[in-house]
């Protein structure tokens, strides 16, 4: 993802508030907190919006998280998280995400989540309903 990425390029937009405890003594937001921001964006797709897409007895687990830090975040304030679907697999979803503060790209990420059957502890194929909803979201024009 290029360093000039804009929030409008993402189909789903989420917001998180920066908390005092998120920062270090210099006022920078700790890099571990960036993962929490990405989770906010993932949850908005996987569990909100039109509703849950996870099958009963299943949960989504992160199989891969690759993040590039682009700029520092400073407390106080908010961040905007952009999320878009890059790929829908048989059991997995690949998401592209970005974290912005005041319009500045602070981090970009690629996340892969897998639907896991909680009893069997194995990947479970996505349902047709999930594929349909994700497909509609994937085909949304950026910023829609």
Q: What is the CATH number of domain 7-133?
A: 3.10.129.10
Tokens of 68: 């590039």
Q: Kindly list the domain boundaries of the chain, sorted by start residue.
A: 7-133
Is 109 in contact with 38 (CB distance < 8 Å)? yes
**pTM of the predicted protein model:** 0.89
| Omega cis (within 30) before 106 | no
What residues form DSSP beta bridges with 111? 65, 95
At residue 31's C-alpha, the angle toward residues 123 and 6, to 5°, is 80
The predicted-structure confidence for 93-102, as pLDDT tens digits, reads as follows 999 999 999 9
The predicted-structure confidence for 20-70, as pLDDT tens digits, reads as follows 999 988 888 998 999 999 999 999 988 876 677 999 999 999 999 999 999
């Amino acid at each position: 993802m290029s360093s000039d990425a804009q929030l409008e390029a993402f189909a789903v937009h989420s917001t998180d508030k920066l908390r005092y405890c998120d920062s270090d003594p210099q006022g920078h937001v700790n890099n571990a907190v960036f993962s929490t921001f990405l989770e906010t964006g993932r949850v908005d797709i996987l569990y909100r919006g039109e509703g849950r897409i996870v099958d009963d007895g299943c949960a989504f687990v992160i199989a891969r998280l690759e993040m590039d830090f682009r700029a520092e975040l400073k407390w106080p304030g908010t961040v905007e998280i952009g999320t878009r679907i890059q790929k829908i697999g048989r059991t997995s979803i690949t998401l592209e995400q970005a974290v912005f503060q005041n319009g500045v790209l602070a981090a970009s990420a690629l996340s892969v989540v897998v639907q896991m059957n909680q009893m069997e502890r194995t990947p479970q194929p996505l349902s047709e309903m999930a594929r349909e909803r994700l497909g509609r979201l994937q085909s949304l024009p950026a910023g829609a």
